[in-house]
Structure 1
Amino acid sequence: MSGIVESAGTGAAHQLPDGQGGMGLPEGHAGQNRTVRSALLDAALEVFTERGYTDAGLSEIAARSGIAVGSLFQHYGGKRGLYLALWEEFREEQERRTAATLASERSRGVDDPIALFVAGAGAYLEGAWDNRRLGRLLVEDDGPAGFDALRRQWDRAWVRRNARLLEVDERRRAGRVRVSVLTTVIGGAARELGDCRDETEAREIMDEVCGILIHLSAPPG
């Protein structure tokens, strides 16, 4: 779960069992669905964090949310759906955050690829700190079947986006490796932020990592 993303909206919207999304529903109904989904995700995060994905029980998630188990299945289809929805929520928030930062920097006239990349990295790390509980959960090995492959797929996509942001020619192996290393540095730092004692320590890590990225982003020669 690392990398800088240029634009949001890459994930599909959550679907109801009949294939209908929130669009087209009466406003009150759509709002109620959002409330139910939010309660279920909050409860799922609590239970997954305390017990791990494997040992988490749907009945406990439903009880903590105050939502019936049947409604849980209706909205998410079960435990795997809840976990993937949490991951998508984290991913989309990180995308929005980094995209907004890049847009702000460009509006100020910043056009240097490295400066933009480091600004986006800083925004991503800010999000990792702000959402550290969810971030810690999502880097654990205890997840649903197939999640690791899905995460690797998105990591590769993020590396490609970072390459475009840095204006690196992906056809050159050296360029691909450099961007992959940079993306890995950001991901590792995000994991470290999850274990920070307080914001002061987190800020120290963010500043240190941004300095490292400036150094490593410079093209060779």
Structure 2
Amino acid sequence: MSGIVESAGTETARGLPGGQEGTARPAGDPGQRQTVRRALLDAALEVFTERGYTDAGLTEIAARSGIPVGSLFQHYGGKRGLYLALWEEFREGQERRTEATLTSERGRGVDDPVALFAAGARAYLEGAWDNRRLGGLLAEDDGPSGFDALRRQWDRAWVRRNARLLQVDERRRAGRVRVSVLTTVIGGAARELADCGDETEAREIVDEVCGILLHLSTPPR
């Protein structure tokens, strides 16, 4: 996995206090299950975006998806499971995107840690723009109980992996702080992109932030 967005181990919905809400393994054809799950996630994203997580209703999500509420519970266990599945989808998509970019850059012979970090950051930010509606939802404070703790754990792992990508000695406080600042810049820019409605402005933001990252990530002489 890339240093930019690698996940915090194998934590999933089960990592939340109380676990996921009684999810049973649904029966049926795998293709049909995938279709049902996609419809439920798309509807959940619409309702969560419009009403927020707290005020979102399962009945409305089921109605918009055209899937019975009972099937919703069978596939996702409830509202928490839907939210966490959306988060996993966003996170894993970002990981695949940045990993593919770093693999391509290394295949071209790029081995400079700063250049690789900047390329991975650009891929991450472009992904944040392409998936801005989902990214904007996940950046809000309105999520399931315990999600903030899970997100902080992932953020800490993100910093550690960025440190490895940049070949920073984590035993040195100055190095840790520098990587933490760089990671915070990427996260903050991703949130700005979620609120940006103009593609030209979004590209300008990505270029500006990548320039800042290149400057900040160059080790002091």
TM-score by length of 2: 0.90
CA 1:7/1:116 → structure 2, altered by over 3 Å: closer, same or farther?
farther
Question: Paired residue for 1:108?
Answer: 108
Structure 2: which 5+ runs fail to align? Answer: 15-19
Q: Does residue 1:39 correspond to 2:39, yes or no?
A: yes
Instruction: Please give the alpha-carbon distance, in whole angstroms, between the structure 1 residues aligned to 2:105 and 2:137.
Output: 31
- How far residue 8 of structure 1 moved from its aligned partner, in angstroms, is 11
The alignment covers a number of residue pairs equal to: 213
SS of equivalent residue, structure 1 residue 142? coil
SS of equivalent residue, structure 2 residue 154? helix
SS of equivalent residue, structure 1 residue 219? coil
Instruction: Please give the alpha-carbon distance, in whole angstroms, between the structure 2 residues aligned to 1:7 and 1:165.
Output: 14
Question: Paired residue for 1:63?
Answer: 63
Question: Paired residue for 1:182?
Answer: 182
Structure 1: which 5+ runs fail to align? Answer: none
- How far residue 13 of structure 1 moved from its aligned partner, in angstroms, is 9.9
CA RMSD of aligned residues (A): 2.2
Contact 1:122–1:206 (CA under 8 A) maintained in structure 2: yes
Contact 2:7–2:158 (CA under 8 A) maintained in structure 1: no
CA 1:49/1:186 → structure 2, altered by over 3 Å: closer, same or farther?
same
Give the aligned residue type for 1:114. V
The 5-angstrom pairing of residues 23-172 of structure 1 reads: 29-172=29-172
Contact 2:94–2:124 (CA under 8 A) maintained in structure 1: yes
Instruction: Please give the alpha-carbon distance, in whole angstroms, between the structure 1 residues aligned to 2:131 and 2:49.
Output: 13
Give the aligned residue type for 1:193. L
TM-score by length of 1: 0.90
Instruction: Please give the alpha-carbon distance, in whole angstroms, between the structure 2 residues aligned to 1:53 and 1:218.
Output: 40
Instruction: Please give the alpha-carbon distance, in whole angstroms, between the structure 2 residues aligned to 1:8 and 1:109.
Output: 28
- How far residue 195 of structure 1 moved from its aligned partner, in angstroms, is 1.6
Runs of 4+ in 1 over 3 A off after TM superposition: 6-18
- How far residue 64 of structure 1 moved from its aligned partner, in angstroms, is 0.1
Question: Paired residue for 2:17?
Answer: none
CA 1:54/1:89 → structure 2, altered by over 3 Å: closer, same or farther?
same
